[in-house]
């Protein structure tokens, strides 16, 4: 065989070897790109993780007294949905809670019973973002079981000898009651002004007063301990409840997750089931 003939027979073998080497190199490059995190799969995973921050830690929620039953239930749901988290509540008059927050009390979330008390916090720059209204609430007269004084209207609260408790005028339930009384031209002097709606309701439950102006949700939560009397003037004094995450919340992601639960279909089911009105 001549030298030229030998080269002609060897050429296909060289070309085949080169093709195999190129295929192996491409395969190795693909594996390297995937493993070092620069490939599309790694990038997508990174984006997905950053879009869903992990919910962890303990959060403190300052909430209006009228939210005690519903928020306690939602707190349990939250902890069940996010194992390892803990929700601690501070319930009270919205004005007192707002003052505590602006004075530096550590908290992650504030849920108020009126926009006015929420404004105290946001005007001080202690809110994170804009507050969102999540429910509304309407007033009702709570009486002793069986309504022995036969209270049927708001004006009946002015009857001689009748003992009535109201929320303090600075508290949302008290402010709403005053608005309804003023609109009706009724002057009422209670035997006591209470610092939150639960305290006013307790006065009736303990039979220390004959009646108190509270929220419908409080009458419902009391069960058979009181009777409720609705009055038309309450329609003009409905309170909106706003909620906001607080600035410098230690666990911001958990705070936002709790607010999301409150506003969700599941949260609204708990709230409206307790007698709250939709936003």
Please enumerate, as own/partner, the contacts of 119-126 that have beta carbons within 8 Å and a separation of 24 or more. Answer: 120/95, 121/244, 121/246, 122/244, 125/247, 126/101, 126/102, 126/246, 126/247
Query: Model-level pTM?
Result: 0.80
**Which residues in the chain come in under a pLDDT of 70?**
1-53
Alpha-carbon distance of 17 to 38, in angstroms, equals: 30
Give the model's pLDDT for residue 42. 37
Domain boundaries, the chain: 58-137+239-273, 139-236
26-40: per-residue pLDDT in tens? 444 444 433 333 333
Give the model's pLDDT for residue 250. 87
* Binding-site residue set: 66, 94, 197, 215
What backbone phi and psi angles, to 5 degrees, belong to 214? -130, -165
Decide if 58-137+239-273 and 139-236 have a common fold: yes
132-185: per-residue pLDDT in tens? 999 999 999 999 999 999 999 999 999 999 999 999 999 999 999 999 999 999
Q: Is 3.40.50.620 the CATH number for 58-137+239-273?
A: no
Give the model's pLDDT for residue 56. 84
Q: Are 130 and 228 in contact (CB under 8 A)?
A: no
The sign one gets for the Cα dihedral 260, 261, 265, 270 is negative
CATH superfamily, with its number, for domain 139-236: Osmoprotection protein (prox); domain 2 (3.40.190.120)
* Binding-site residue set for molybdate: 66, 94, 197, 215
């Amino acid at each position: 065989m001549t030298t030229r003939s030998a080269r002609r027979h060897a050429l296909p073998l060289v070309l085949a070897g080169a093709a195999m080497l190129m295929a192996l190199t491409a395969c190795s490059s693909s594996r390297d790109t995937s493993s070092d995190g620069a490939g599309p799969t790694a990038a997508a995973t990174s984006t997905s993780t950053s879009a869903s921050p992990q919910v962890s830690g303990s959060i403190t929620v300052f909430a209006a007294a009228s939210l005690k039953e519903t928020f306690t239930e939602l707190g349990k749901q939250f902890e069940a949905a996010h194992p390892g988290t803990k929700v601690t509540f501070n319930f009270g008059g919205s004005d007192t809670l707002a003052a505590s927050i602006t004075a530096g009390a550590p908290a992650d979330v504030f849920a108020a019973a009126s926009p006015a008390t929420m404004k105290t916090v946001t005007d001080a720059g202690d809110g994170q973002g804009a507050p969102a209204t999540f429910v509304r609430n309407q007033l009702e007269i709570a009486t002793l079981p069986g309504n022995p004084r036969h209270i049927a209207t708001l004006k009946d609260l002015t009857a001689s000898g009748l003992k009535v408790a109201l929320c303090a005028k600075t508290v949302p339930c008290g402010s709403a009651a005053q608005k309804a009384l003023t609109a009706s031209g009724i002057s009422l002097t209670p035997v006591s002004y209470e610092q939150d709606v639960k305290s006013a309701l307790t006065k009736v439950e303990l039979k220390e007063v004959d009646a108190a102006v509270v929220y419908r949700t409080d009458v419902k939560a009391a069960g058979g301990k009181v009777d409720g009397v609705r009055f038309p003037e309450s329609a003009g004094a409905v309170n909106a409840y706003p909620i906001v995450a607080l600035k410098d919340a230690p666990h911001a992601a958990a705070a936002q997750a709790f607010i999301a639960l409150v506003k969700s279909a599941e949260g609204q089911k708990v709230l409206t089931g307790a007698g709250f009105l939709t936003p």
